[in-house]
C-alpha cells in the first residue's frame, strides 16, 4: 500500500504526524486501526479501515471523527469515560462512504507520555454488521463489561431455590417476599470476578478469597433486591439480556446493571449453561483520569510502605452493614447490646479483614511477609481484653478516630505494647478503607516504668532524710511511752510485793502499760510508714487526718523551740484521692521547713499556722504559713528545683519532692512571701470522685 495512508495531511491548523514504526505493521492487520489526537482529528488510517468504511486514507486523515457518525446521529461512545479510564469498548454505528450504516465493535485506548499528557487515541474495530440485534446488544454489554465491575456467577443451585419458592416459570415478587432475596443470593456462587468487582464489592483482600462464596456475602445490602430480581429474570429466560438502571451504585453514578447467560455451551465447563454474567457500569465518583488515578495509587503505595509507623488497611464494610441492621431495629446503646450479644464481637473479628499492610507492620508482628497479615483480624486484639468491643462502640457512635494504648501478640508470641489508632471512613470516602496504625511504645513504657522507680526512690530518700532531721523528735516521741511503761511496771511490782495486795491498783497500772505500749506501737507504725518503700496507692483519704498525723511528727521540735503551732482544719473538707504516706511526707516537709525557718529568725514569739479550706471551685486547699524570714529575693522561682537549697547542709530535694508528689496527684503547689512577713506555702487538690 502507498505510504500516504499513514501520513497526516499538513495545513496551517494541523501539525505533521510521524507515525511510529509499529504503525507500518498495522497496514497488514485484519482489524481496522485508526489513530487520532486528543481532539478527535484522525492521524492514521490503515487498509482494513478503508475496507470497513469505504473511505480512503486521503479523505479521512486530518478530518474529525464526526465525519464517520451515522447520518443524523451522534457517536454514542462518550469521551469522558474514555479519557478517565484511558480505554473504552462497545458497539457503535458509523457512516460508510456509500451512505449506509456500518455496525462496528470497537476498542479504543489512550496513550500518554510519562507526564500524563495525551499522545493519541488508538482504535481497533471489527465489522459486526451481520449480527442480529440481540447479538449486538449482548456484544455491546460484553465489550463495555471490561470497564465495569464484572461477576461470573453459577446459578445451578439458585434454579432449584426458585422452583421451590414459586414453582417453575413463575416470577417472584421480591417486594412481597423480601426474605427470599437472601435465599436466592445465598444459592448463587461466585465463579470469577474482575479487579473492579474486587475493588468495589470485595469484603476480602483478594479475588481468590471471593471465589466459591455466595454472592450475598459481598454484594451491598441496598442492591441485593435488584440483583435477585435480575437473576430471577435471567434464570427463567435463558436467551434474555437484562439491563437495568439503579438509583445508587455506591462508588458509581448512574449505575447500569447488565446480566446475561453464557451464549454457547463450553465443553470445558459441564455446567456452563448455568453461568450468568453480571456487570455494573457507570461514571465513577472520582473524575480523575486512569493515568492520574494510577499515579495517585503509586504515590499512595510508596507513602504507605515507607511510613515509619506500622499501618494496616482494613475493610470493615461488613460490620458497617451489621450496624445498619441494628439501627433499623432501634438499637442505640451499642455497648449494652454487645454485652448481651458477645457473639457479634467474635463475628466482627472474622468480618473485618486486613487488605494491605506496610513493611513496618510486618516487622512489628515478626511476620515472614505481608501475606501473613492479610485476612481476618482474628486474634489480633485478644491480648487486650475488651479492645475489639471498644473499637466497635466507637465505630457505631460515629467517632472519626479511636486511640488507646493496647497490647498485641506477635507471631513469635511476644506481647508488644502499642499505641493503637483507628481512623474510620465517613461518606463520601471509600467505605472499604479503615486505617489502623500501631506505634511500638514498649521502650517508652519501660523507660516510664524506670522513671517512676527513680521517682519513688527519690521520694523515699526524701522521707529518710526528713526522718533523719526529726531523729531527736522521734526519739523523744518513742521515749515517752517507754518511760511510762517502765514507771507503771515498777509501780505494779511494788504493789504486788506487798502483803496487802491492791489488785484494783495493779489492774489500773497494767491498763496504763497497755495504753503506753499501743501508743509506742502507733509511733513506730507511723515511722515505718514514712520509711517504707512501697508502691504509691491512691485511695480516698481525709486530708485533715493526715495533717494531724504530720503534726505529731514535729510536735517535740515545736515544743522544744517554743514555737506556737496552730491548726485550723475545716470540718467539712471532702476526701481527696491520694497516697496517704506521700501526702503526709509533703505536709511534714513543709512543717519542718517552717520550724527551721522560725528557729533561725530569733523572733521572740515564733509561730506556724496550718489551715485546710475549700476554695470556690470545690477544691481542697492546705496552707502552711510562718513568721520566719521568708524566701530570699531571687529564690522564689527556684525553690521547687531539684538540688536547690539555701541551707548549708541541705540536699535541695525536699521541696522538689513535694512538687513532684502534688503534681502526680493532679494538684498544684506554690510558695511565696506573705505581705505581712514570713513564708507561705500552699497546695490544692481535687476532691475524690
Look at 85-99, 200-214, 297-311, 312-326 and tell me which has the smallest mean pLDDT: 200-214
What is the predicted pLDDT for the residue at 646? 55
Peptide bond between residue 428 and the one before it cis (omega within 30 degrees of 0): yes
Give CA separation, 451 vs 436, 447, 454, 586, 667, in Å.
30, 6, 5, 20, 20
**Cα–Cα distance for residue pair 352/319, rounded to 1 Å:** 7
Q: Which helix (H) or strand (E) holds 237?
A: none
Confidence of residue 432 (pLDDT cuts 50, 70, 90): low
pLDDT (mean) for 86-108? 84
Cβ burial of 336 (10 Å; 0-12, 13-18, 19+) is exposed
Q: Name the helix (H) or strand (E) containing 202.
A: none
| Distances from the Cα of 44 to the Cα of 18, 23, 90, 116, 448, angstroms | 10, 8, 21, 22, 72
Is residue 486 within a helix (H) or strand (E), and if so which, with residue range?
helix 471-497
Beta bridge partners of 275: 154
pLDDT at residue 230 above 70?
yes
At residue 350, does pLDDT exceed 90?
A: no
- Alpha-carbon distance 192 to 194, whole Å? 7
Q: Which of 82-96, 450-464, 504-518 has the lowest mean pLDDT?
A: 450-464
- Indicate if the pLDDT at residue 644 is higher than 60: no
Residue 265 confidence class, pLDDT cut points 50, 70, 90? very low
Identify the helix (H) or strand (E) that includes residue 309. none
Taking residues 33-59, report their average pLDDT: 90
Residue 643, pLDDT above cutoff 70: no
Residue 651 has pLDDT above 50, yes or no: no
C-alpha cell at 327: 439501627
pLDDT digits (tens, 9 = 90+) for 209-224: 778 888 887 777 767 8
Residue 667 burial by Cβ neighbours in a 10 Å radius (0-12, 13-18, 19+): buried
Tell me what the mean pLDDT of segment 407-431 comes to.
82
> pLDDT-based confidence at 471, cuts 50/70/90?
low
Q: Would the pLDDT of 142 be above 80?
A: no
Mean pLDDT of the 433-453 span:
79
pLDDT in tens, 531-569: 665 666 788 999 999 898 888 877 877 887 888 999 999
Q: What is the average pLDDT score of the chain? A: 77
Q: What is the pLDDT of residue 371?
A: 85
pLDDT digits (tens, 9 = 90+) for 596-637: 888 877 778 899 999 999 988 889 999 999 988 888 776 677
Residue predicted with more confidence, 14 or 337? 337
* Secondary structure (H, E, C), 48-113: HHHHHHCCCHHHHCCCEHHHHECCCCCCCCCHHHHHHHCEEEEEEEEECCCCCEEEEEEEEEEEEC
Q: Which residues contact 172 (CB under 8 A, 6 or more apart)?
A: 162, 165, 166, 180, 184, 228, 229, 232
3-state secondary structure at position 389: helix
Give the per-residue pLDDT at 682.
92
H or E segment to which residue 471 belongs: helix 471-497
User: Are 34 and 51 contacting, i.e. CB atoms less than 8 angstroms apart?
Assistant: no
- Cell digits of residue 502: 491492791
More confident call, 197 vs 405: 405
In 145-223, which residue ranges form alpha helices assigned H by DSSP?
156-166, 179-186, 195-201
Of 51-55, 565-569, 653-657, minimum mean pLDDT range = 653-657
C-alpha to C-alpha distance for 423 and 396, rounded to whole angstroms: 13
Average pLDDT over every residue of 11-33: 62
Place of cell 448455568: 274
**Residue with grid cell 455446567, as numbered in its chain:** 271
Instruction: Give residue 648's pLDDT.
Output: 46
The 3-state secondary structure of 503-532 reads HHHHHHHHHHHHHHHHHHHHHHHHHHHHHC
Minimum mean pLDDT among 164-173, 567-576, 661-670: which range? 164-173
Asked if 304 contacts 313 with a C-beta cutoff of 8 angstroms, the reply is: yes
The span from the CA of 268 to the CA of 284, in Å, is 35
Q: Distance between CA 96 and CA 52 in Å, rounded?
A: 8
CB count within 10 Å of CB 319 equals: 22
- pLDDT of amino acid 625: 92
- In this prediction, residues 560-586 reach a mean pLDDT of 87
In angstroms, the CA 436 to CA 395 distance is: 13
- Give the residue, 577 or 291, on which the prediction is more confident: 577
Average pLDDT over every residue of 190-218: 75
Are 669 and 640 contacting, i.e. CB atoms less than 8 angstroms apart?
A: yes
**Structural domains of the chain ordered from first start:** 25-130 (3.30.450.20), 134-264+272-285 (3.30.450.20), 300-431 (3.30.450), 443-535 (no CATH), 538-688 (3.30.565.10)
* Position 182 pLDDT exceeds 70: yes
The strand order across the sheet containing 42-45 reads: 42-45, 32-36, 118-127, 101-112, 87-95
**CB under 8 Å to 57, separation ≥6 — which residues?**
4, 5, 6, 45, 49, 50
Q: What is the pTM of this model?
A: 0.46
User: Sign (positive/negative) of CA torsion 263, 265, 266, 269?
Assistant: positive
Reference 312, options 377, 368, 369; nearest CA is 377
Lowest mean pLDDT among 109-118, 138-147, 500-509, 540-549: 138-147
Q: Are 681 and 590 in contact (CB under 8 A)?
A: yes
Amino acid at each position: 500500500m502507498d505510504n500516504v495512508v499513514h501520513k497526516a495531511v499538513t495545513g496551517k491548523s494541523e501539525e505533521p504526524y510521524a507515525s511510529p514504526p509499529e504503525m507500518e505493521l498495522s497496514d497488514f492487520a485484519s482489524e481496522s486501526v485508526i489513530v487520532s489526537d486528543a481532539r478527535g482529528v484522525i492521524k492514521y488510517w490503515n487498509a482494513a479501515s478503508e475496507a470497513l468504511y469505504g473511505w480512503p486514507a486521503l479523505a479521512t486523515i486530518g478530518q474529525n471523527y464526526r465525519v464517520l457518525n451515522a447520518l443524523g446521529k451522534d457517536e454514542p461512545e462518550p469521551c469522558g469515560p474514555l479519557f478517565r479510564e484511558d480505554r473504552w469498548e462497545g458497539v457503535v454505528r458509523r457512516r460508510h462512504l456509500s451512505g449506509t450504516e456500518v455496525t462496528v465493535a470497537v476498542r479504543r485506548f489512550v496513550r500518554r507520555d510519562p507526564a500524563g499528557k495525551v499522545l493519541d487515541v488508538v482504535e481497533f474495530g471489527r465489522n459486526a454488521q451481520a449480527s442480529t440485534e440481540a447479538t449486538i446488544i449482548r456484544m455491546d454489554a460484553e465489550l463495555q463489561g471490561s470497564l465495569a465491575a464484572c461477576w461470573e456467577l453459577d446459578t445451578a443451585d439458585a434454579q432449584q431455590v426458585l422452583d421451590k419458592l414459586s414453582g417453575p416459570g413463575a416470577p417472584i415478587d421480591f417486594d412481597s417476599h423480601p426474605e427470599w432475596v437472601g435465599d436466592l443470593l445465598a444459592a448463587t456462587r461466585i465463579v470469577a470476578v474482575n479487579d473492579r468487582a474486587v475493588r468495589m464489592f470485595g469484603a476480602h483482600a483478594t479475588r481468590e478469597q471471593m471465589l466459591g462464596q455466595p454472592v450475598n456475602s459481598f454484594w451491598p445490602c441496598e442492591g441485593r433486591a435488584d440483583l435477585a430480581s435480575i437473576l430471577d429474570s435471567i434464570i427463567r429466560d435463558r436467551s434474555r439480556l437484562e439491563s437495568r438502571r439503579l438509583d445508587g451504585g455506591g462508588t458509581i453514578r448512574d449505575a447500569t446493571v447488565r446480566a446475561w447467560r453464557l451464549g454457547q455451551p463450553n465443553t470445558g465447563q459441564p455446567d456452563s449453561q448455568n453461568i450468568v454474567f453480571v456487570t455494573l457500569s457507570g461514571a465513577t465518583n472520582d473524575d480523575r483520569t486512569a493515568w492520574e488515578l494510577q499515579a495517585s495509587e503509586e504515590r499512595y503505595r510508596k507513602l504507605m510502605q515507607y511510613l515509619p509507623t506500622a499501618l494496616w488497611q482494613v475493610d470493615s464494610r461488613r460490620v458497617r452493614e451489621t450496624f445498619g441492621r441494628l439501627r433499623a431495629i432501634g438499637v442505640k446503646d451499642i455497648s449494652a447490646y454487645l454485652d448481651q450479644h458477645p457473639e457479634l464481637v467474635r463475628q466482627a473479628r472474622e468480618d473485618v479483614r486486613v487488605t494491605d499492610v506496610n513493611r513496618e507492620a510486618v516487622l512489628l508482628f515478626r511476620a515472614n511477609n505481608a501475606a501473613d497479615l492479610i485476612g481476618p483480624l482474628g486474634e489480633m486484639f485478644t491480648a487486650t481484653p475488651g479492645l475489639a468491643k471498644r473499637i466497635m462502640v466507637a465505630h457505631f457512635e460515629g467517632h472519626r478516630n479511636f486511640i488507646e494504648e493496647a497490647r498485641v501478640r506477635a507471631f513469635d508470641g511476644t506481647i508488644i505494647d502499642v499505641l493503637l489508632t483507628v481512623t474510620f471512613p465517613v461518606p463520601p470516602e471509600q467505605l472499604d478503607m479503615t486505617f489502623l496504625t500501631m506505634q511500638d511504645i514498649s521502650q517508652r513504657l519501660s523507660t516510664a516504668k524506670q522513671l517512676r522507680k527513680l521517682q519513688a526512690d527519690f521520694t523515699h530518700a526524701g522521707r529518710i532524710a526528713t526522718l533523719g532531721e526529726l531523729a531527736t523528735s522521734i526519739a523523744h516521741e518513742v521515749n515517752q511511752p517507754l518511760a511510762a511503761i517502765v514507771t507503771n511496771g515498777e509501780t505494779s511490782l511494788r504493789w504486788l510485793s506487798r502483803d496487802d495486795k491492791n489488785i484494783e491498783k495493779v489492774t489500773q497500772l497494767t491498763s496504763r502499760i497497755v495504753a503506753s505500749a499501743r501508743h509506742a506501737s502507733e509511733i513506730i507504725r507511723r515511722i515505718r510508714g514514712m520509711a517504707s518503700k512501697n508502691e504509691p496507692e491512691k485511695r480516698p483519704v481525709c486530708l485533715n487526718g493526715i495533717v494531724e498525723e504530720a503534726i505529731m511528727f514535729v510536735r517535740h521540735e515545736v515544743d522544744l523551740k517554743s514555737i506556737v503551732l496552730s491548726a485550723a482544719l475545716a470540718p467539712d473538707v471532702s476526701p481527696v484521692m491520694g497516697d496517704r504516706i506521700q501526702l503526709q511526707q509533703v505536709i511534714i516537709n513543709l512543717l519542718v521547713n517552717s520550724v527551721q525557718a522560725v528557729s533561725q529568725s530569733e523572733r521572740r514569739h515564733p509561730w506556724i499556722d496550718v489551715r485546710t479550706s475549700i476554695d470556690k471551685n470545690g477544691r481542697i486547699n492546705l496552707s502552711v504559713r510562718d513568721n520566719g524570714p521568708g524566701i530570699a529575693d531571687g529564690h522564689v522561682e527556684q525553690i521547687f528545683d531539684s538540688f536547690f537549697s539555701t541551707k548549708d547542709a541541705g540536699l535541695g530535694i525536699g521541696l522538689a519532692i513535694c512538687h513532684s508528689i502534688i503534681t502526680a496527684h493532679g494538684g498544684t503547689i506554690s510558695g511565696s512571701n506573705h505581705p505581712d512577713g514570713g513564708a507561705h506555702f500552699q497546695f490544692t487538690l481535687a476532691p475524690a470522685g
